[in-house]
Structure 1
Amino acid sequence: MGKLIFTASMSIDGYVADTDGDFQWSAPEGAVFAVHVERMGEVSTEVLGRRTFELMQYWETDPDDHVWTPAEQEFARRWRRIDKVVASSTLTHDDIGSQRVRLVPDLSLAELRRIVDDAPGVVEIFGPTIAAAAIRAGLVEEFQFFVVPKVVGGGLRALPDDVRLDLSLEGYETFDNGIAHLRYVPRQG
């Protein structure tokens, strides 16, 4: 049985993308990227929506326009070995291009529970839109936030507006660039 986690890089005011849809201000570098590489070693299954899946396709093939660093090569290697479940009603199996990807037209909570129950390790649900129902339903067992020292004033929120959570801080790490990596779990009782 797996463990469902939600991970997000976000501004101090709680957004993963600004009002223009830009999220490049949260792109991890250096020591923060190293944490992401390490995290991928624990993830057995990634659950993504269409947009996030298309964004992460970057890691599926080596780029032609530059040479990846050793950390980027390792992230790509770990990313490629993860099973992926993509929730999309518009993508087809021809769009996927990998045997490690399962396409589901709609991700119900029951289906998500099955995915987590069948997984041999950590299941990461990646992207605030796809994670919203699971967060509301209390299915997420751990939250990992990479808080970027930036206020963007609006955009795509990391957490749904209509949810209340009582969380316990399980761990944190700060970096020289001001980013804080925070790990929370829901309080019991």
Structure 2
Amino acid sequence: MAKLIYAAIASLDGYTEDADGAFDWSAPDAELHAFVNDLERPIGTCLYGRRMYETMVYWETAPTSGDAADAVVHDYARIWQAAEKVVYSTTLATPTSARTRIERAFDPDAIRQLKETSERDITIGGPALAAEALRAGLVDELHLFHAPIIIGGGKPALPDGLRLPLELLDERRFAGGTVHLHYRIRP
């Protein structure tokens, strides 16, 4: 059975975007990007809300080869292009990337079935969609990357009003100051 994994880069105070919707402070350096690539490499399917998909679809046409200095970026483009994508949106008419389908509503039972039938793990991107999956008890693991910045408000990485027991599986500090915390959600 595949695991459903939520990964997010957040400010130290827990936001994925500031109050104006900006997230430029979260851009990973090469070391962090390579680490994320290795986390994403085994993923078979990515679940996105419309807004996260519109941010990530850049990778559909990003170069997959070229300057060796950009090797980590090219690697991520190949990883993203190879994955299946499911976009949850009531407004998006058609996907603008290959291997992508649109679902009009988030259905926890469909996600349970996807987990049961998938040979590879699944990620869920975007805090609003992840909140639905967390509340439905579907998320198995969290990868939280805390950037060395406090932004004072914005879009929270984790939903309010949710209490989940966690088991710390791993931690890592990156040279740029970002800290990675890997948790399993305990039953």
Scaled to the shorter chain, the TM-score interval is over 0.9
Amino acid at match of 2:92: L
Q: Report the CA distance between 1:161 and its aligned residue.
A: 0.4
After TM superposition, the structure 1 stretch with the greater mean CA deviation from structure 2, 128-137 or 75-84, is 128-137
Matched-pair contact (CA < 8 Å) for 2:81–2:98? no
Provide the aligned length of Structure 1 versus Structure 2.
Answer: 184
Q: Report the CA distance between 1:30 and its aligned residue.
A: 1.4
2:135 — aligned with what?
136
Secondary structure in 2 aligned to 1:181? strand
Secondary structure in 2 aligned to 1:152? coil
CA distance in 2, matches of 1:20, 1:138: 30
- The answer on 1:37 being equivalent to 2:37 is yes
2:150 — aligned with what?
151
1:166 — aligned with what?
165
Give CA-to-partner distance per residue, 1:78-113, whole Å, 9 cap, x none: 1100000000111112xx133411110111211221
CA distance in 2, matches of 1:87, 1:6: 16
1:52 — aligned with what?
52
1:85 — aligned with what?
86
Amino acid at match of 1:28: P
Q: What percentage of aligned pairs have identical amino acids?
A: 40
Matched-pair contact (CA < 8 Å) for 2:29–2:176? no
Query: For the structure 1 residues 99 and 62, does the alpha-carbon distance in structure 2 shift closer, same or farther, using more than 3 Å as the test?
Result: closer
CA distance in 2, matches of 1:59, 1:145: 22
- The answer on 1:122 being equivalent to 2:121 is yes
CA distance in 1, matches of 2:106, 2:168: 29
After TM superposition, the structure 1 stretch with the greater mean CA deviation from structure 2, 101-110 or 111-120, is 111-120
Name the TM-score, length of structure 2 as normaliser. Answer: 0.93
CA distance in 2, matches of 1:52, 1:114: 23
Where structure 2 has 5 or more consecutive residues not aligned to the other structure, the ranges are none
